[in-house]
């Protein structure tokens, strides 16, 4: 699984990003500097989202694998139970046959 980390710097930036998206200014806006800063912010957020997406894909693969394993286990248990029931019936039928015969 990929590493996901969120530095203090990234955490501190998120509220300003939300304020900017909602129409508020960040106070860091300038001619060129503000655009570069904003691009860096979005690049950092995109990178984190890519890591999260990668982790979610990995979890989905693991979930699918576990689902297959559990279905196989369920089928195996079903087969074992049926075999046990058949053996139990055979033993009970054999005991009934022996019990109905008169002793020699």
pLDDT digits (tens, 9 = 90+) for 49-100: 999 999 999 999 999 999 999 999 999 999 999 999 999 999 988 777 676 6
Which tokens hold the place of 102? 């008169």
55-62 long-range Cβ contacts below 8 angstroms, 24+ apart: 55/1, 55/2, 55/4, 58/1, 58/2, 59/1
Q: Does the pLDDT value for residue 21 go beyond 60?
A: no
d(CA 104, CA 98): 11
Q: What is the pTM of this model?
A: 0.50
Per-residue confidence (pLDDT) for residue 12, from 0 to 100: 52
88 or 29: whose pLDDT is higher?
A: 88
């Amino acid at each position: 699984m990929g590493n996901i980390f969120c530095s203090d710097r990234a955490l501190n930036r998120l509220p300003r990003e939300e304020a900017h998206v909602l129409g508020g200014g960040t106070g860091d806006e300038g001619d060129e500097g503000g655009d570069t800063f904003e691009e860096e912010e979005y690049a950092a957020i995109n990178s984190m989202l890519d890591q999260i997406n990668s982790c979610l894909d990995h979890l989905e693969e693991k979930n699918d694998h576990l689902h297959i394993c559990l279905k196989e286990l369920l089928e195996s248990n079903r087969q074992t139970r049926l075999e046990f029931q058949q053996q139990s019936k055979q033993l009970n039928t054999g005991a009934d046959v022996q019990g109905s015969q008169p002793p020699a």
